[in-house]
Amino acid sequence: MLRRHPSNPILSAGDWPYPAHTVFNPGATRLADGTTLLLCRVEDRRGHSHLCAARSANGIDGWVIDDQPTLVPRPDVHPEELWGIEDPRITFVPELNKYVVAYTAFSRDGPGVALALTEDFRTFERRGLVMQPDDKDAALLPRRVQGQFALIHRPATETAAHIWVSYSPDLNNWGHHKMMLLARKGAWWDANKIGLSPPLIETSRGWLMIYHGVRRTASGALYRLGLALFDLDDPEHCVLRGDPWIFGPETSYERHGDVGNVAFPCGTTIGDDGDTLHMYYGAADTCIGLATGSIRDMLKWLDDNGSRESPRTQGARP
């Protein structure tokens, strides 16, 4: 359902105009003129990450990469960014006429969720930490639902890591926290730990979610992707959830790298036809891959491979 581009990996540290150890887990959007913008996580040789923008007319090649880091940690004013900023998810919000970037701030006490607003990916208005540690894998919906902004995120405890949605009137004050999707249990590919991957995709049938499931194996974790669909007006209500995973590490650049067996998308763009989905993903925490699919095919696949879930029983099926 998602086909890898033959020139994968499309971006890696060797393409960078300044020293970089690895580049991965990019947020993605299309700018007003159709340009694809990736906001890439760049890890330096201290192990700290910052974000750097890369722009391309076709979203495949000809990338123009900022010659300096685009958004850097500011632990002097935002102590929660002490050990870097990671994994941005970009949402264009027409009401604000701005892009909202939800990213992981790596604090002394673990990862939390921070927001920054921008019009041009050159200057940013930081809103700071909105979800305290341990929390990550966050993205905003592009419009209010029932009068409120909605943020998807993944709080984690020692025993649980499920996907939640929280609501806010102003992007600063968050409440009405609701469980959105539960990790399954036992042998399932998405047992114990799941998280949002790219921001939700709005379709006529609901919000389409691509999420990752982490399978713990004797030789480490396996990061794979699944699909779920949520009610447009009530995003905490899961309409359909796919049973099998749809995309996982297979190629050498996904199998081998700093963290092998990881395919981790943080962004998608939609083609001019309104259906073609370009998914940008971190491969093995080392480089960036592109895979392409069809939103229509994904919805059809969910009809054929999905189960209806009620909030009380989701994830609990054997």
Interacting residues with ligand BMA (CB under 6 A) = 25, 86-87, 223, 259, 262, 264, 282, 285
**C-beta of 317: minimal distance to ligand BMA in Å?**
25
Calpha distance 39→29 (Å, rounded): 9
**C-beta of 155: minimal distance to ligand BMA in Å?**
13
DSSP E strands: which ranges in 108-191?
110-118, 124-131, 135-140, 149-155, 163-168, 175-181
Tokens 């890696």 sit on residue = 12
**C-beta of 119: minimal distance to ligand BMA in Å?**
26
Which C-beta is closer to ligand BMA: that of 44 or that of 234? Answer: 44
CB 90 within 8 A of CB 100: yes
For residue 219, give every residue at least 6 positions away whose Cβ sits within 8 Å of its Cβ, in sequence order, or none. Answer: none
**C-beta of 272: minimal distance to ligand BMA in Å?**
30
Which C-beta is closer to ligand BMA: that of 142 or that of 265? Answer: 265
CB 60 within 8 A of CB 271: no
Which C-beta is closer to ligand BMA: that of 81 or that of 285? Answer: 285
First-to-final CA distance of the chain:
26
3-state DSSP assignment of residue 299: helix
Of how many residues is the chain composed? 318
**C-beta of 165: minimal distance to ligand BMA in Å?**
20
Which C-beta is closer to ligand BMA: that of 238 or that of 283? Answer: 283
Which C-beta is closer to ligand BMA: that of 198 or that of 206? Answer: 198
Computed on alpha carbons and rounded to an integer, the radius of gyration of the chain in Å comes to 18
Distances (CA, A) of 74 to 23, 48, 82: 20, 12, 7
Closest chain position to ligand BMA (CB): 259
- Torsion on CA atoms 255, 260, 264, 269, rounded to nearest 10: -40
CB atoms inside a 10 Å sphere around CB 282: 27
Which C-beta is closer to ligand BMA: that of 99 or that of 264? Answer: 264
Which C-beta is closer to ligand BMA: that of 239 or that of 259? Answer: 259
